[in-house]
Structures are given as C-alpha cells and as structure tokens.
Amino acid sequence: MRKIETGIEGLDEILFGGIPEKNVVLLSGGPGTGKTIFSQQFLWQGLQKGEPGIYVALEEHPIQVRQNMKQFGWEVKPFEEKGMFILVDAFTAGVGRSKEFEKYIVLDLMDLRDFLDVLRQAIKDINAKRVVIDSVTTLYLNKPTFARSIILQLKRILAGTGCTSLFVSQISIDERGFGGPGVEHGVDGIIRLDLNEIEGELKRSLIIWKMRGTNHSLRRHPFEITNNGVKILKSQ
C-alpha cells in the first residue's frame, strides 16, 4: 500500500508513514482547532514534492485564502501559474469581481452537480494528487439528512482519480462526533482536532480515529500552531 506523506511535522510518524494513497479522510474539529491551516499545509507539502493540489474554498474568499497561506510562507500563486495548484472558488458564486480573477468558480452553490462538475474538471486539468474541501459541512448545511449521500457522491468523483483527499468537517464546541449524521461511516479515515481548556489554558491535540489501510497511533497527540503551521509534539 502506497502512502502519501503529509509532510506535517510529526504526523507521518503517528500515521506509520502517511495517509494511504487515495484515502478520503475527514478532518474534523470545532472552530479554531486548526483544520484550515492543517489542510492547507497538506497541500503545500504536496506541491513541494511535485504533487498537484486543489483547495476548494467554501468558507473564505479566495483572495483571503491566498493571503492566509502566504502568511505561513505558502505562496501558491506561482504554482497556480505553473498549473500545479487550483483554488476552486465555491464561496463568491461569481458575485463581485471574482470572475475577473478566478478560473474555477462554482456559480450555483445550491446545485451539487455544478459543484461536482467544477471539481471534476479541476482534478482533470492538473492531474491532481491532493484535494482539500474546506468545508464539506457547508455543502449540507441546509440539508443535514443528505450529508452522507453528498459525501458518497464526492467520493465517487474522487475514486476514479489518483487523489488523496481531506474533507474538512465542522463540529460545534463540545460535540463528541465528527459532524453530520453518518458522514463518518462514508470516509476512509478520520482525524479529529481538539481544543480543550485545561487549567485556564487552551491546549491543542489531535487523535487519529480511523485510517483504512494502515496501523496508526491510537494516542491523543498534543500539537501546536506556529508561523510555520502545524507541528505535532512528542507525547509526554
């Protein structure tokens, strides 16, 4: 089984080498737990190894996404120009000036077919190896009963490709699950990010809940976010 090294410091060790190729992994966590930074770092590390990547932005304006990534030293513009990186704008719906700047826009955010078509085209255009959808929760916000079926439709598109994917899943503070009814059963892996107040201080940690195709650590691992992104700390 081939594994995709995430390149995130300390993560590949606890994944026993990385994420099995072609897995769809749910990256689940509450607000501010680091899901977006984690997933962008995953794409950036891929670019460093020559693996084309796609970031589907449903939560933030594409301009904001590029800016945020740049703050960590992850400047994607040159990779967009080289045809190695695509930022899919599933945020603006083409409103405003985005049409002048963005090549991949989901115009009707209510229409999943439109979304899937744009994604499929993007994957094909650059032969993507890594895909991030941030977040899938936004896709079923108004239709929670369709959550699992939407995940399955996404998986179907990805299955025929060589992509290894992260689906960002938003959960509320103190929620125990992974977001959305049944979503966790449709994916190959689950990584959960947590933020807990311990003695008056917020502590970050993550746990690999599931990862098809590999053994992995079952421990909770503390991590930190710095100007360089996510770094898993050695367990005490």
Ligand X SMILES: Nc1ncnc2c1ncn2[C@@H]1O[C@H](COP(=O)(O)OP(=O)(O)O)[C@@H](O)[C@H]1O
Q: Can you give the binding site for ligand X, defined by CB under 6 A?
A: 29, 31-37, 225-227
Whose Cβ is closer to Mg ion: residue 36's or residue 137's?
Answer: 36
Q: Tokens in use for 92?
A: 């603006």
- With CB under 5 to 8 Å by kind, the binding choice for 192 among ligand X, Mg ion, none is none
CB of 82 to Mg ion, least distance (A): 26
Nearer to Mg ion, 91 or 216 (CB): 91
Segment contacting Mg ion by CB under 5 A, of 34-42, 43-51, 71-79, 178-186: 34-42
> How many other CB atoms sit within 10 Å of the CB of residue 94?
14
Q: Least distance to ligand X from the beta carbon of 195, Å?
A: 8
Stretch that binds Mg ion, among 33-41, 142-150, 184-192, 216-224 (CB under 5 A): 33-41
Instruction: Tell me whether residue 6 or residue 39 sits nearer to Mg ion (CB atom).
Output: 39
Q: Is 92 in the site for Mg ion (CB under 5 A)?
A: no
Nearer of residues 84 and 193 to Mg ion, judged by Cβ:
193
In sequence order, what are the residues at sequence separation of 6 or more whose Cβ sits closer than 8 angstroms to the Cβ of residue 93? 105, 106, 107, 108, 109
Nearest-approach distance from CB 35 to ligand X, in angstroms: 3
Task: Tell me which of ligand X, Mg ion, none is bound by residue 92, counting a contact when its beta carbon lies within the kind-specific cut-off of 5 to 8 angstroms.
Answer: none
Binding of residue 36 to Mg ion (CB under 5 A): yes
In the list ligand X, Mg ion, none, the entry touching 24 (Cβ below 5 to 8 angstroms by class) is none
Cα 88 to Cα 106: distance, rounded to the nearest angstrom: 8
- Which residue's CB comes closest to Mg ion? 36
Residue 226: name its binding partner from Mg ion, ligand X, none (Cβ under 5 to 8 Å by kind): ligand X
Task: Residue 133: name the closest of 179, 79, 82 by CA.
Answer: 179
Between CA 198 and CA 38 the distance in angstroms is 23
Distance between CA 163 and CA 52 in Å, rounded?
10
Q: Smaller CB distance to ligand X: residue 63 or 107?
A: 63
Q: Strand ranges (DSSP E) for the chain? A: 3-4, 19-20, 24-29, 53-57, 85-89, 130-134, 164-170, 189-198, 201-211, 220-226, 229-232
* Nearest approach, Cβ of residue 37 and ligand X (Å): 4
The answer to whether 107 and 114 have CB atoms below 8 angstroms apart is: yes
- The smaller minimum CB distance to ligand X, of residues 36 and 165, is found at 36
Helix, strand or coil, per DSSP, at residue 95: coil
Report d(CA 20, CA 164) in Å as an integer: 8
* Residues 18-38 as b or e (16 or more Cβ within 10 Å = b): bbbebbbbbbbbbeebbbbbb
- Residues at the contact surface with Mg ion, assessed by CB under 5 A: 36
